[in-house]
């Protein structure tokens, strides 16, 4: 049985003081011993959010990191900087990073390798555009993203990664994929992992759905055999996130 992992992605929201207030507000609401809970927050919020989350089940993660160890990369954050303050999760290759900051499958792969080298669990994002879905190439496209993201990643390492399937047309649009659409692609991703590695690895890896997840849609989505939780944007900034984390109560 895979343990569910429910992660919030705050994106470019919340100042450090707002972050502390939000963690304090959500702390009692997201208590659920049966799932892993992660808040992926802006870099400047990581330390104050961690302080605020102390003694709770909330893990504080990052939204991005660079693939080099250190050096002349103005404005970037390294894996060692994250581990130095105790970060264990990082979102890699979110579609907004790909669209607005030129990230590619190749840079995603480099970041995944660097995160794993530092024992940080990458939450690796993939997902198709509306055009690709309408063209019927969703699964081919996502398989390619997965294959490149996992280049040179060992089976042992792959077991410690999380994949987030996020159809781009469902992100921030209120247009959640149907349960069938989400399960179909998550199952195809697991099959792709099985082809790259083996059944053991495919059964161990956790695959989230993301894109307009709400308290209303979470229970059915997370009950699917191949959906092991969610990556939640908008709703992770609200008390509703507590209901999503407690989808099984």
| Catalytic residue list | 94, 166
Q: How far is the CB of 154 from ligand PGA (least distance, A)?
A: 27
CB nearer to ligand PGA: pick between 112 and 202: 112
Q: How far is the CB of 139 from ligand PGA (least distance, A)?
A: 20
Q: How far is the CB of 80 from ligand PGA (least distance, A)?
A: 25
Half-sphere exposure of 127 (CA within 13 A, CB side): 30
Q: What are phi and psi of 88, to 5 degrees?
A: -115, -5
- Closest-CB residue for ligand PGA? 233
CA 163-161-245 angle, to 5 degrees, is 65
CB nearer to ligand PGA: pick between 61 and 210: 210
**Alpha carbon 241 to chain centroid distance?**
15
| Lookup: tokens for 80 | 């060692």
d(CA 249, CA 242) in angstroms, rounded, equals 11
Residues of this chain that interact with ligand PGA (CB under 6 A) are 9, 166, 171-172, 210-213, 231-235
CB nearer to ligand PGA: pick between 61 and 211: 211
Under a CB-based contact definition with an 8 Å cutoff, are residues 176 and 220 in contact? no
């Amino acid at each position: 049985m895979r343990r569910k992992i429910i992660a919030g992605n705050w994106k470019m929201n919340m100042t450090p003081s707002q972050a502390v207030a939000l963690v304090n507000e959500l702390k009692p609401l997201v208590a659920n011993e049966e799932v892993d809970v992660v808040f992926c927050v802006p870099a400047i919020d990581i330390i104050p959010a961690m302080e605020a989350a102390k003694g709770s089940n909330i893990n504080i993660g990052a939204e991005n990191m660079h693939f080099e160890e250190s050096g002349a990369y103005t404005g970037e954050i390294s894996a060692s900087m994250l581990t130095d303050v105790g970060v264990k999760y990082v979102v890699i290759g979110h579609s907004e990073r790909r669209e607005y900051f030129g990230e590619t499958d190749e840079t995603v792969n480099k970041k995944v390798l660097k995160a794993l080298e530092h024992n940080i669990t990458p939450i690796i994002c993939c997902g198709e555009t509306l055009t690709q879905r309408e063209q019927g190439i969703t699964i081919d496209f996502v398989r390619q993203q997965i294959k490149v993201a996992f280049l040179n990643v060992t089976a042992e390492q792959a077991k410690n990664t999380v994949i987030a399937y996020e159809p781009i047309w469902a992100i921030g649009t209120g247009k959640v994929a149907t349960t069938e659409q989400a399960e179909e692609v998550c199952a195809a991703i697991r099959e792709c992992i099985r082809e790259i590695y083996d059944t053991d690895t495919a059964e161990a890896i956790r695959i989230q759905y993301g894109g307009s997840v709400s308290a209303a849609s979470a229970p059915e989505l997370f009950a699917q055999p191949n959906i092991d939780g969610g990556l939640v944007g908008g709703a992770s900034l609200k008390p509703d996130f507590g209901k999503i984390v407690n989808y099984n109560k």
